[in-house]
Structure 1
Amino acid sequence: MNISREQVDALNAIVTVAISKDDYADKVNKVLADYRKHANIPGFRKGAVPMSLIQKQYGKAVLLDEVNKLLQSSLNDYLVEEKLDILGNPLPKITEDFNWDKEDFTFEFELGLAPEFSVDLAGISNVTKFEIEADAAMLDEQVERIQKQYGKMVSQDTVEADFTLRGTFSNEEKGINNTTNITLDIFSNQDVANQFVGKKVGDVVAVATKGLFDDDHKLMDYLKVSHDDVHGLDITVDFTIEEINAVEKAELNQELFDKLFGEGNVTSVADLKGKIKEDAEAQFAQQADQKFLNDVIEGLIESTTFELPATFLKKWIQTVGENPLTAEQAEEEYAKSEKGLRYQLIEGKIIAANNLQIQFEDLKAHTAELIKKQMAQFGQLNPSDEEVEGIVARVLSNQDEVKRLSEQVMSEKMLSLFKEQVKANAKKVNYQEFIKEMYGE
């Protein structure tokens, strides 16, 4: 057997595998001999079928199978030995006049090679690391929300300005049908709020979505429309009133504090606001980290330039799925996936250069932390180590979960590295300011 490589250019190569009869004959003969031992052919005793008949009936199929096995194993070994960093899989070159009746065979494969490039984390600019502050207005709002949430709901007959309504926003054309609670102060225009005053259960109020709220993103919460749809959404939605309630706010006393945070942990309104601030800013920090990570990734993709074997990859995309794609479909798929492929290559360089390996202990610790947080949400604040370890073992026995969690661990490692090596501008904002930064408004 002989394997050779022709370097077409820096990103493309042709590998030729020449297989002679000596490479496969013994394997083919062994398989045919096994067939002969077990063949049941009328007119012949088991094991006494002439080899010529076995050869005639099974020879070509066995030849194809054994040559293919030899071809795949030798090609894979060659790629490993030569340390070739390929993209996709080798693509066999189709030979119209290929003849399986010959004794020696030559196969050619196209390779798409990964480009050579370097990554400069220090060269990324215009990245901001946000610190999101829970300001006084937010804390006051959250305190009032808690008072209303734990207050007493008193049913009413007619809507007044400070009442709470439960009802459904709907628009058949846009497929909007979302049941929610509202208060009239959510609307940016007092004229809209006034339309509800005096209405009763069963009444329908039509409102225009354009300028309905002070921030169009609130349409995502109240109407359950996507972020892509909220900008410039200019339709009319109906709000069908289903309940009218006045809220008798809960008193800010020790009984409420103990109910919220456990006995004696919060003893004053100042403590309550401090706890709200701590919890909110911990959640905000995660959102800020995610934006920072996304912005660095975008910066890396923009600043790290290299060519890809695009023609090869488009041909490979045509063949890789369950159903072959047309050239036009492959072109579209490549356009959608190119950015992701570029980052995969960049990420691989960063991981290798910084030895960012995932140890099993990292995976166990990450999984245990997630499980503890989930258990805390259901009131299990102090689970035993044995209980947590048992759940971790069950989770990590699922390979899909291992893959998903490993990606999270690696994302955390990349985030830590970026924080160390990327020069970012620090900016303190409140949550509303962050939302505007997040969505480019």
Structure 2
Amino acid sequence: MNITLNQNDTTNANLKVVLQEADYAPKVDEKIKEYTKKAQIKGFRPGKVPAGLIRKMYGKSILAEEINGLLSKSVNDYIKENNIRILGEPLPDETKQNAIDWDNQKDFEFDFELGILPDFELNPAAGETLDAYKIELDEETINQVHEHLQRQYGETANPETSEANDYLSGELRQLEGEFKTTTLLPINKIKKNQEQFIGVKAGYVITFDLQEVFDNDASAISHVTGVRKAETAELKGNFEFAVEKINRTAAAEFNQELFDKIFGKDAVTTEEEFNNKLRETLAENYQQEADKVLKNKLVEKLVKETEITLPEEFFKKWLAVSNQGKLTPEQIEENFEQYKDELKWSMIRNKIVEENDIKVSNEEVVNATKAKMFAQFNMPEISDELADTMNGYIDNYLKQNNGRNYINEYEAILAEKVLDVLKDKVTVVEKSVTADEFRNLSF
């Protein structure tokens, strides 16, 4: 066997593998002997089928299987032993691959394209300054959450004609554009020309300027359309809303039944306790969002300012092959900058992991999963009797999807540790903002 690496430049290389008969013949002969012992062919006793007959019947498929296995192992071993950092996996070089004559050919040549990931200098934003947000809960936000919870747990009806506190369900469509979505439109959040939406029935079509009726409120428009706040300004001009249904919810009362539904049985027993618990929960959720914003800014800054030369043409080929035709060339081109940024961040993250010897233990993965499960089921703690059951449930969850759930949890913890390392290298300036102001910031 002969393997030759020809590096064209810093990010692209070709790998040639030449297999000779001596490389694969012993394995093929061994496999044929196995077949003679197991094959059941009419006219021959078990284990007495001639090797020549097996070779004639199955020799070609055995040869192809053994060569493919040997080729894959040899290429992977070569890359590992020579410490070649590649993007994805080797791709067959279609321009050099000749048709194989499995009946007569003895020596085989295979050519692969490699995308090489170059080394790079990492300067993790040393001395940089980033804004962090401390969220102050304002009364308007608390009142909005009260209203939302009362609606969420209230009784819903579908009246014939709309009133000011109803939700309209239907299709929102841009008249001079391509945007279209099915959504719920809250009439009481409309700031101008609200009368257009009151007194309507199913089947009505309302025409209006989206920016005008919401008074250019990016947060409200984002909530209705599902578009990111930073992109809502692009939704210009007149829209049509085709009313399909009117939703009216009678607000749920603030009583023990509501308290139990939201926070669990007897977790709070008075409205004062409920409001304190609500503030605590909201503060925690908003701070998690604020921390996420800070981390996203840090990642964006690193990706933007770290110079990494990528094998772009190979990357495009690999994206097409690895996604098995699910991505068209047009889609790859359209989203290529995003794919590049994701790859660069992956390389930066791996370098930080190596340089800082960051590790994630199995115990950390299990404990993080357990904490999420407790939060999902609204259980601050569990009894000893339920502990074994919960541990079994967590173990089963982490093994699902061929272990993908475990890997996802592992990767999430690893990413948090990397970002914690990076946060120590920047100066964070804390800014206090209300929850309403935070919601309206563009990220």
Q: TM-score range by the shorter chain?
A: 0.7 to 0.9
Separation of aligned partners in 1, 2:371 and 2:338: 35
Q: Considering only aligned residues, what root-mean-square deviation do their CA atoms show, in Å?
A: 4.5
Corresponding position: 1:62 with 2:78: no
Residue equivalent to 2:314: 312
Where 1:127 maps in the other structure, the secondary structure is strand
- Structure 1 CA distance, aligned partners of 2:151 and 2:329? 60
How has the CA–CA distance of structure 1 residues 258 and 304 changed in structure 2, closer, same or farther, with 3 Å as cutoff?
A: closer
- The 1:44/1:282 distance shift into structure 2, 3 A limit, reads closer
Task: Identify the residue that residue 431 of structure 2 maps to in structure 1.
Answer: 427
Moved more, 87-96 or 201-210: 201-210
1:3-54 deviation line (CA, Å, top 9, x unaligned) = 3323322222333333333222222233334445566778888777766565
Matched, 1:92 2:95: no
Aligned to 2:212: 211
Alignment of 1:19-34 (within 5 A): 19-34=19-34
In the TM superposition, residue 301 of structure 1 has moved relative to its aligned partner by: 0.9
Q: Which residue of 2 aligns with 1:165?
A: 166
Q: Cα gap change, 1:129/1:27 in structure 2, threshold over 3 Å: closer, same or farther?
A: same
The CA distance in 2 between the partners of 1:327 and 1:159, in whole Å, is 47
1:138 Cα deviation after fit: 3.5
Seen in structure 2, the aligned counterparts of structure 1 residues 9 and 350 have a Cα distance that, compared at 3 Å, is: same
Q: Distance in 2 between matches of 1:205 and 1:50?
A: 80
What is the aligned partner in structure 2 of residue 119 from structure 1? 122
Alignment of 1:25-424 (within 5 A): 25-36=25-36, 55-93=55-93, 94-96=96-98, 101-123=104-126, 125=128, 127-139=130-142, 164-165=165-166, 167-168=168-169, 170-171=171-172, 177-179=182-184, 182-183=187-188, 186-189=189-192, 192-193=193-194, 199=199, 206=206, 208=208, 209-214=210-215, 215-221=217-223, 223-227=224-228, 228=231, 231-233=234-236, 234-237=238-241, 242=246, 274-323=276-325, 331=333, 334-376=336-378, 380-385=379-384, 386=387, 387-398=389-400, 399-424=403-428
Deviations 1:58-109 (A, max 9, x none): 4444333323322222222222211221112122333337665343334333
Q: Please tell me whether the aligned partners of residues 320 and 328 of structure 2 are also in contact (alpha carbons under 8 angstroms).
A: yes
Deviations 1:268-325 (A, max 9, x none): 86x7765443332211101111111111111111011111122333333443343498
Q: 8 Å contact 1:132–1:431 — kept in the other structure?
A: yes
Q: Is the 8 A contact 2:201 2:243 kept in 1?
A: no
CA distance in 2: counterparts of 1:317 and 1:393, whole angstroms: 33
Answer yes or no: is the 8 Å Cα contact 2:160–2:202 preserved in 1. Answer: no
Query: Is contact 2:133–2:430 with CA below 8 Å preserved after alignment?
Result: yes
Q: Is the contact between residue 201 and residue 243 of structure 1 (CA under 8 Å) also seen in structure 2? A: no
Q: Answer whether contact 2:28 2:66 (CA < 8 A) is retained.
A: yes
CA 1:411–1:27 in structure 2 vs 1: closer, same or farther (change >3 Å)? Answer: closer
Distance 1:240 1:165 in 2: 13
Amino acid at match of 1:63: L
Q: Is the 8 A contact 2:218 2:440 kept in 1?
A: no
Determine the C-alpha separation between the residues in 2 that align with 1:312 and 1:347: 22
1:10 match: 10
User: Which entry has the higher C-alpha Rg, 1 or 2?
Assistant: 1
- The AA in structure 2 aligned to 1:361 is E
Cα-to-partner distance string for 1:103-130 (whole Å, 9 max, x where unaligned): 3334333322111112222347453211
| 8 A Cα contact 2:218 2:232, kept in partner | no
* Letter aligned with residue 309 of structure 1: P
Question: 1:297·1:343 contact (CA, 8 Å) conserved in 2?
Answer: yes
Structure 2: stretches of 5+ with no match in the other structure: none
TM-score (norm 2): 0.76
CA distance in 2, matches of 1:213, 1:365: 44
Identity of aligned residues (%): 30
Unpaired runs of 5+ residues, structure 1, are none
